[in-house]
Amino acid sequence: MHPFDLPDFPWDTLAGPAALARSHPDGLVDLSVGTPVDPTPPVIRAALAAAADAPGYPTTHGSAAVRQAVVDWFARRRGVPGLDPDAVLPTIGSKELVALLPSLLGLGSGDVVVHPRVAYPTYDVGARLAGATPVAADATSALGPERVSLVWVNSPGNPTGEVLGVEHLAKVVAWARARGAVVASDECYAELGWASGEIPSILDPRVSGGSPDGLLALYSLSKQSNLAGYRAAFAAGDPRLIAHLVQVRKHVGMIMPAPVQAALTVALADDAHVAEQRERYRARRDVLRRALGPAGLVHDGGEAGLYLWVRAVDRPEATGWDLVDALARRGILAAPGSFYGPAGARHVRIALTASDERIEAAGERLAAGLLLP
């Protein structure tokens, strides 16, 4: 793909509905993007400030402290003991690695990159940027004889909130290893579970067989810690793959700033602020879930993540764009499901990322009903 051939950025196409929603007498409730609105926890801001005197270059591989913090977090929160600190790489947010991973792995023409049928659009764009072929599939049985080089899994899923279990993930790993493919698991919403079931990592020994070979887990603190503005994330897994990524990133200068590394180290060690933020989102989710029924809507996604995956109950012909327009007339801006692939065309994604006051306003507006065309 030539850089000038990139598709339009999906959210830029929401200008019309956004203008309509802003005209609501009580103002806009923007639930379209999923950008955090709550304060960055003081303990993290203090760590950033304390490390602000940073005249020298940080290391591309990250400080020993930040890599150990990732190792400790995986053992404590994700059921992954004994991770090698050398198999950890801090990244400048997770999106840059999602977009660049096929290129950084040297993929190109003839390589196939598999991603879910309903998925974050950057998986597709990253494959195209590398000159590889993106293929949307939810099961390995749906794949033909193509040379699959990279398989993306996303659990909890964006936008659906679906959680993939140990058995499913283990089958994907076995299938990919038999073909020499890398499995990259985007796990950015793993701390946002709303049911009692577990959310396993691709590095969980029950999934990986106790070996990280061919596996990468990606994680971001943007949502759990309100750090989207810090661009604080990391990858971990196969030491060979991490070493390769470190080497390439040294050449191109892709380095997480030292103060952000210090903040990330502290954030990963503090579970209290994560629990507090999770409960904020749980309460907001409950408000919106209760209001869907009176609006003639239903969430038919999973019980995790930062979004509601919503369709019209009694209007199966209604498209996601129909719902976007109907919501905009109530002053609510959401994202059409088509942003996430053709399989999402009848849905909208509604984010939980607005203040308590705006979420309450959205709930009241939804409870008043929607007028679909």
* pLDDT 10s digits, 159-192: 999 999 999 999 999 999 999 999 999 999 999 9
pLDDT bin (cut points 50, 70, 90) of residue 115 is very high
pLDDT at 5: 67
- Does 343 have pLDDT greater than 70? yes
pLDDT at 2: 53
- Does 196 have pLDDT greater than 90? no
pLDDT bin (cut points 50, 70, 90) of residue 240 is very high
> Beta 297-299 vs 307-312: how paired, if at all?
antiparallel
Here the tokens at position 81 are: 């003991």
- Give the chain's domains with CATH numbers: 3-39+273-367 (3.90.1150.10), 43-270 (3.40.640.10)
Q: List 184's β-bridge partners, or say none.
A: 152, 216
Averaged pLDDT for residues 42-50: 98
Q: How far apart are CA 234 and CA 68, in angstroms?
A: 12
* Average pLDDT, rounded, for the chain: 94
Residues 234/90, Cβ–Cβ less than 8 Å = yes
Averaged pLDDT for residues 44-67: 97
Q: SS3 of 311, please?
A: strand
- Does 1 have pLDDT greater than 60? no
pLDDT bin (cut points 50, 70, 90) of residue 70 is very high
pLDDT at 370: 83
Here the tokens at position 152 are: 């993306």
Is residue 266 packed enough to be buried (19+ CB in 10 Å), middle (13-18) or exposed (0-12)?
Answer: buried
Higher pLDDT, 155 or 146: 155
Q: SS3 of 88, please?
A: strand
Q: How far apart are CA 220 and CA 98, in angstroms?
A: 11
pLDDT bin (cut points 50, 70, 90) of residue 313 is very high
- Does 17 have pLDDT greater than 60? yes
- Residues whose CB falls within 8 Å of the CB of residue 306, separated by 6 or more in sequence, listed in order: 34, 158, 189, 192, 223, 281, 351, 352, 353
- Residues 247-256 pLDDT 10s: 999 999 999 9
Q: Cα-atom radius of gyration of the chain, to the nearest Å?
A: 21
pLDDT bin (cut points 50, 70, 90) of residue 345 is very high
- Residues whose CB falls within 8 Å of the CB of residue 264, separated by 6 or more in sequence, listed in order: 66, 69, 90, 221, 227, 230, 232, 234, 256
Is residue 167 packed enough to be buried (19+ CB in 10 Å), middle (13-18) or exposed (0-12)?
Answer: exposed
Q: How far apart are CA 206 and CA 43, in angstroms?
A: 34
Residues 110/147, Cβ–Cβ less than 8 Å = yes
Q: How far apart are CA 366 and CA 364, in angstroms?
A: 6
Residues in the chain, total? 373
> Beta 232-237 vs 88-92: how paired, if at all?
antiparallel
Residues 371/329, Cβ–Cβ less than 8 Å = yes
Q: How far apart are CA 323 and CA 339, in angstroms?
A: 14
Place of tokens 């913090």: 69
Averaged pLDDT for residues 150-156: 97
Q: In 10 A of CB 28, how many CB atoms?
A: 20
Considering the chain, what percentage of its residues have pLDDT values greater than 70? 98
Angle formed at CA 169 by CA 353 and CA 241, multiple of 5 degrees = 85
pLDDT at 142: 73
pLDDT at 265: 98
Which one, of 19, 38, 35, lies nearest residue 27 by Cα? 19
What separation in angstroms does the CA of 165 have from each of 70, 153, 199, 350?
23, 12, 7, 24
User: Worst-scoring range by mean pLDDT, 12-16, 102-106, 329-333?
Assistant: 12-16
Distance of CA 95 to the CA centre of its chain: 8
- Torsion sign (Cα): 221, 224, 225, 226: positive
Q: SS3 of 133, please?
A: strand
Place of tokens 């004889």: 145
Q: Which residues of 67-100 are buried (b: 16+ CB within 10 A; e: fewer)?
A: bbbbbebbeeebbbeebebebbbbbbbbbebbbb
Q: How far apart are CA 232 and CA 236, in angstroms?
A: 14
Q: SS3 of 23, please?
A: coil
pLDDT bin (cut points 50, 70, 90) of residue 13 is confident
Q: SS3 of 169, please?
A: helix
